[in-house]
Structure 1
Amino acid sequence: MSHAIADQPAVEFGHVEHVDVYFDDLDAFGILHNARYAVLLERALTAYWAERGVSFQGGQRSAPDTFHAVREFSITYRAPIAATGPVAVHFWLEHFGTSSAEYAYRFRSVDGGTVHAEGRRAIVRLDPATLRPTPWTETARAVAATLLRPATTPA
Structure 2
Amino acid sequence: MTTALQIGHIQPVQIHFEDLDAMGVVHNARYVLLLERALSGYWAEHGWAFDPTRPHFAEIFFVVREFSITYHVPISTVGTAAVHFWVEHLGTTSVVYGFRVLSADHGVVHAEGRRVQVRLDPATLRPSPMSPALRESIQPLVLTAGHLGS
TM over 0.5: yes
- Residue 6 of structure 2 corresponds to 12
Q: Deviations over 1:85-138 (max 9, x none)?
A: 010100000011100000000001111211000000000000011111001112
Task: Give the match for residue 70 of structure 2.
Answer: 76
Could you tell me how far apart the structure 2 residues matched to 1:60 and 1:13 are? 32
Quick one: distance in 2 between partners of 1:112 and 1:50? 23
Which residue is 2:141 aligned to? 147
8 Å CA contact 1:56–1:62 kept in 2: the answer is: no
Q: Which amino acid aligns with 1:86?
A: T
Q: RCO (CA 8 Å, sep 6+): is it higher in 1 or 2? A: 2
Query: Which shifted more, 118-127 or 134-143?
Result: 134-143
For the aligned residue pairs, the C-alpha RMSD in angstroms reads 1.4
CA distance in 2, matches of 1:35, 1:65: 28
Aligned with residue 60 of structure 1, among 53, 64, 67 = 53
Other-structure match for 2:16: 22
Q: Percent identity?
A: 52
Figure out how many residues of one structure are paired with residues of the other and give that number: 145
Residues 53 and 62, structure 1, Cα contact 8 Å, conserved in 2: no
| 2:134 is aligned with 1:134 | no
Normalising by structure 2, what TM-score? 0.92
**What stretches of structure 2 of length at least 5 have no aligned partner?**
none
**1:61 Cα deviation from its structure 2 partner:** 4.2
Which letter maps to 1:119? G
Runs of 4+ in 1 over 3 A off after TM superposition: none
